[in-house]
Amino acid sequence: MSMQAVLRGQLLATARAMSAARLNVGTSGNASVRLAGGGFLVTPSGMAAEVCGDDDLVEITAAGEARGSRAPSSEWLLHRDIFAAFPAAGAVLHAHPPFATALACQRRDIPPFHYMIARFGGSTVRCSSYATFGTQALSDAAIAALQERCACLLGNHGMVVWGRDLDHALALAVELETLCEQYWRTCQLGAPVLLSEEEMADVVERFRWYGRPRAPGSEG
């Protein structure tokens, strides 16, 4: 089995897992995975993951050409530009889950109300400005909000995350929606108590090695 065939299976499984986790409903949201050589695979336009097959996934070449029997996701530009801007990105997930979308519709950054915000690269998760779906303007707004981050909210739209691979990106997306729900619920009780810049900087540093294999010969 070729590597692309393996990645097709993994991408389809991830798209279905997004639906199972209630990150997406129906045909909303999309996912992609980087290919060796500069292109990527992306989910098709207007197809629910449950009825999508491996052959329905679309290859986008390094030159931006679509290959396949289906049209690519309307957000393929967003995926292309994230892969170009962030070399460490191996997979990109875009979704419209309830709590992240509610906060995005308020144009709210998520502040350091919980230390797990640091998992996304800084002391906040930013919310981008609004732009029409599928446009270069939306892609540009997302890239700006993602600087030094692996996730952001998209104004009046949803969320986008990138990870080193599909499993990592899915875990980040689930974590972000969980934090969005926790922040929303905390705000029902009043203004949350926020962690300081120093406290968040310590956590950001700890997350640089969190979950990674121990170096050979290291102690502890």
Encode pLDDT of 81-125 as tens digits: 999 999 999 999 999 999 999 999 999 999 999 999 999 999 999
Domains of the chain: 3-206 (3.40.225.10)
What pTM was computed for the model? 0.93
Q: Please answer whether residues 182 and 114 qualify as being in contact, where contact means their C-beta atoms are separated by less than 8 angstroms.
A: yes
pLDDT digit string, tens, across residues 181-211? 999 999 999 999 999 999 999 999 998 877 6
How far apart are alpha carbons 57 and 70 in whole angstroms? 7
Q: How far is CA 203 from CA 21, 65, 175, in A?
A: 27, 41, 16
Element (H, E) at 67: strand 66-67
The pLDDT, as a whole number, for residue 218 is 46
Over residues 125-140, the mean pLDDT reads 98
- Catalytically active residues, by annotation: 75
Share of residues in the chain with pLDDT > 90 (%): 90
